[in-house]
Structure 1
Amino acid sequence: MIKITIVAGARPNFMKIAPIIHAIEASKIDGNPIDYRLVHTGQHYDKQMSGNFFAQLEIPEPDINLHAGGGSQAEQTAAIMVGFEKELLTNPTDLVLVVGDVTSTMACAITAQKLKTKVAHVEAGIRSGDWSMPEEINRLVTDSITNYFYTTSEIANQNLLKSGISEDRIIFVGNTMIDTLLKQRSRFIKPVVWDERGLVQSEYIVMTLHRPANVDEESNLRKLIETIVESSHDIPLIFPVHPRTAKIIQAIGVRAPNLILIDPLSYLEFNYLVSNAKAVITDSGGITEETTVLGIPCLTLRDNTERPETVSLGTNELIGTNPRAIPPALEKVFSGMWKKGTQIPLWDGNTSKRIVTHILTIKSVND
């Protein structure tokens, strides 16, 4: 029996681990000797992560919540490591599986290795090259101490090879976030704002902004939003906004009849909006993956991306953080000239099966 401890620290992590849990459960039914324990570090408090959240993803609630959120990055890292060390000492495991690039990913990888427990990293090898992003530091540290690298793209494979990782430790599997997207697509939920605002397919734009570079400087945020409004052809701009960002927007007094600020949505509601939108304007990384698979034009307000395949093969374009780049980009959308994108290799809904198949070979080698 191979025992796996799966770590998640924030809401997007659960989207990535849900299909892995489904694949493990299916493998158990097939008679394979595999089991898991789900650890939520509690890195981010999210009022939407109720029992209904886990029910939507069709996964059980975590076996334990370490409640390690709050404080500075250093305080949070320390709290996660202390809590996770106790967890591993109480519940020894054969393999710790971490996902993505949040603080929990790095902290739990370090803790596991110091307890001589092997680490597998899902989404290994992705790089933005921007060390000002905490996530980039988390990726670099995690990948420097990982045993098994589950990658989303050939670009990630090359990043790891260039850093000296041997080819036999790099397992190109695809993207578990896309597993979840494809599995849940038929279950997307129409959010309340759809009927309240009389939304029509392909006649509105979805916005998400959360990176400090875009939202913390009030004059910059004002100019970004004003430029988007001015270039929107007056169609609705649906902006699910974090309470902190909402306060900044309120303080700077940006208002427009077609700028619709709403509370954050559940996964199934948000992707209903995205899948029916004319375009998405974002500074997120994960959303660029989903828009690529859904075939929705995506304008990313960043100068770099850790997911370049969404640009080279998908529907995403990096337009930078200068507001002057927004009008010509949106004009391409409205004129129907935005690129269509193509299928990204192994983003096919079967990534988690490939991961579990490989984990079973780890056990056989160890035996």
Structure 2
Amino acid sequence: MRLPRSLTTAVGLAVVSALALTACAPETTDDAGTAEDTAATESADGATDEFPVTITHALGETVIESAPERVATWGWGSTEAALAVGVEPIGVSEQIFTVGEQALLPWVEEEYDALGAEHPVIFTDAEGGASVPYEEFVEADPDLILAPYSGLTQEQYDVLSDIAPVVAYPESPWVTPWDEIVTITAQALGRSEAGEQVLADIDTYLTDLAAEIPEAEGKTFAAIVDSPSEGLVYVYTPADPRVAVLENLGIASAPSVAELDTSDGGFFYTLSYEELDKLESDFVIAYTYTEEEAATFGESDELQAIPAVAAGDVVKVVGNVAVSSVSPPTALSYDWPDGVPAIADQLAAIYGG
């Protein structure tokens, strides 16, 4: 169902007003304007696929008539994927959990700076995608909005589509595999070959990393977040990209994770402390958000009920940035030192690699 017509109309009028103001504005030749025009031209010129491009996804079918010049992103991963294939988004969603208000993820900021590019507009997202700042999108004036890993609702998608073509997730919100994010983004930008190269490079990196820890091959894991205040742990399923990417290291999600799953296809479920003895695996990956939390993880009697925790076979990902680098992994964060590489190092320590 679309949003009330009054809101849709308001957004449409805002678009018209923005275009009208642009048309009436005096021409400028300042450096900022020149840089923006140059970036847009390079974005279009770098496309190798033929347009129009049509992408079918869970919320509809999107036709991209020509190579986008002003790309906006929403959710996770598509910003990095766009940058990796040579397109600099002019607007990206805020990542409150990781870096706070109006700041860029460190690997994203590094890439913009390395390219000598203007930093993008940062769209307000204080609610993790629960609401969308339509007016900010209107002001940014994108010609494509990428959201292949997001929580867009049909209503949000419909309203954003009045602003620019929108590419949503292929099946369900927040579960698009990390490599498909790259593929979908590259396809939408007309840069499929570049996307394939990005994935080939990541595959080589992960294969080489796996070769350094052969003793870990075939080991099983459960990826969790402890929540003492709730008396439970969050368990991530194989549908979550943070779990899927680790299989490239030769390890696998434990059968018990699937057996205990109550999510009905979701990317996580909760398990009460009373059931933790059922979570059997060779080792546990614990996502912790502070050094103190990491230092004390597993000391409680409740967590000691998990067999791998009792055995001391725990791999820790520590800090908001490190957790975010693998949640999900992206085209720019897969080799972030405190993320996947740190997991590999800890596996080597456990299994003697």
Fold shared, TM-score > 0.5 on shorter chain? no
Taking structure 2 as the reference length, the TM-score comes to 0.42
Q: Which has the larger radius of gyration?
A: 2
